Structure formats: structure tokens, C-alpha cells
Structure 1
Amino acid sequence: MTWAVRIGLFVVPVMAYVITKRWALGLQRSDREKVLHGRETGVIKRMPNGEFVEVHEPLSQEQLHALVQHEQYKPIGPGAVDGAGDLNAVFRLAQHLRARLSDRLYGEGTQIAKPTAQEYKEITDKHRN
């Protein structure tokens, strides 16, 4: 029992972080798809070439706003300097660690990019034609 608690004390928080992060990215990916392609209607159509496609319905402006109104965080740069401009070694180390942690949490591959207005316009124009 003691060993299970000792190991679990370190393993469980890491596993919870990994699972939660993957879940959050999956939800962001789902929201992005919903914004770009609309809501699934459950209607299946057969195309002249024999292909089956599901009909999607565009979202209302309120729903679109709710899905894209969040802020996309960006990592802080390593060059942040205090007001004096002269950094001591401890402050420089703290800034370096802060920049690395910020890059790890908000850098490349940590969040799904919101669809841009250009992407949305291209998709909706393509579906109208």
C-alpha cells in the first residue's frame, strides 16, 4: 500500500495532466470543425457519382461568436527585461525559466488555432457553390 501511494503521488498528477490536455485539444478541434463546416443535421444525400455526404447546417452568429470569442494565448519571449535594464543572475534565471514554461504551456502544438475569417469565408463560399 505504501509503494502504491508513493508511486501514485507522482504518476497520477502527470497522467491527469496528459489526459486533460488531450481532452481539451479534442474539444478545441471539434469546435474548429463545427465553425468551419456547421452543425450536423443527420441528413444523408447521395451525390450523382454515388458518393454519400452528410448535409451540414451553418451556425448562427451567436453560436459562431461563442465558439471563436476566446483569446489565443501566445508564449512570452525570452527577452523580457525589468525597468532598470540591468539583470542580476537570479532574475535572469527566473526569466529564462518563465519563458521556457510559457513556451511549454502556450507554444507550438499546445492549442488548436481558431479559424480565421479568411478560412471561414473560403469554406462557406465553397459550400454555396
Structure 2
Amino acid sequence: MKNGQLKPGYNATIAVDAEYVVGAMISQERSDSQTFLPMLKKLKELGYTKPVADAGFESEENYTWCEENGQTAFIKPANYDMAKPANTKATSAAGRTCPTRRTPTATSVTGVVVSRRPMRKRPSPRQATPS
């Protein structure tokens, strides 16, 4: 590209059952949602009827096809993280309150996860306790 950006030319999609790859496909579609139906058609021949997919595969067309073909689709909604209450708390077995949301992370262009955790403050030499 003239502006220095790298654009994907192909989209690879795999289907797994437990830890085994049961289907693989490469297409020139840029969107994951466009690769979902061709993969499901392959998997239907193998007897799979309950696909589980992330938010990138969500579309009205995919839901409709699954319903018409007897598939029970488990696709994470694209707005799932935004729809969750931010202050939801859970209680541990010991009775302690634990936040259920983790610190947000960002992914760089190279795919490396960049954490946004705050750095811990080091005690100043004056605050250090004598040994």
C-alpha cells in the first residue's frame, strides 16, 4: 500500500471440535461474517449443528440461515461488553467481593497485547521500614 498500511488479502477460518481441527477454509472475504456460512455448510455435512463463534461472525443473515437449517448458533453479540454493567461484582467462596470485569487491554497492529494495568508505586526510601 502506498500509505504504509498492510491490508489483509485473505481470511483464514478454522473450525475445531475440542482440540482437533475439523474444518479449514481460506477466502478473500474481508469480514468474518461472510465466511461463516460457507464454513457451516461444510460442517453440516459432518453432522455439526451447534456452532459457537465470536462477535465477528454475528450478522442477521447468519442467524437466519442457522434458524432455517436447524442449527443452534451460539454467537457472542457485538455489543456484549458494552451492555454488561460496569460495576458488576461477584462473591468468592470465602465471601470476598471480586470485580468480574478485568482491566481493558488493547491489541497493537502486530497482534501483541498491550496491557493498561496501572503501575505499582514503589515505596520511597523514606517510607521503607528498617530491617
TM-score normalized by the length of structure 1: 0.25
In terms of fraction of residues, the more helix-rich structure is 1
- Answer 1 or 2: higher relative contact order, Cα 8 Å, separation at least 6: 1
In terms of fraction of residues, the more strand-rich structure is 2
